[in-house]
């Protein structure tokens, strides 16, 4: 993916999943998948904190095939890489 600098130059940037690539994206932020504003995306994830210490956390998993495909596309994963890395997650009802 490329990003445009303030001086008009383009630069290549790498996009990575902060939690994991199966974390669902907040409904109102899905529009950013179709733009170059990926840094605006928030996910359905959480941390549980007790007295200032993180004691747990997690996320809501993507349950929509089309959304999952878009996320992998933005991460630059080919169909072959998806199958190789995450094939054990993919199964149809």
**Three-point CA angle 63, 68, 69, nearest 5°:** 145
Is the whole-model pTM more than 0.75?
A: no
Span 59-75, pLDDT tens digits: 999 999 899 999 999 88
pLDDT band per the 50, 70, 90 thresholds, residue 50: very high
pLDDT band per the 50, 70, 90 thresholds, residue 8: low
* Contacts (Cβ under 8 Å, ≥6 apart) of 40: 29, 32
């Amino acid at each position: 993916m490329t990003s445009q600098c303030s001086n008009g130059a383009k630069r290549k940037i790498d996009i990575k999943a902060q939690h994991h690539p199966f974390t669902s994206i907040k409904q109102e932020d899905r529009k950013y998948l179709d733009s170059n504003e990926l840094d605006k995306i928030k996910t359905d994830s959480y941390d549980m904190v007790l007295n200032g210490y993180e004691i747990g956390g997690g996320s809501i998993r993507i349950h929509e095939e089309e959304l999952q495909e878009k996320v992998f596309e933005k991460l630059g994963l080919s169909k072959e890489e998806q199958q190789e890395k995450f094939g054990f997650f993919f199964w149809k009802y």
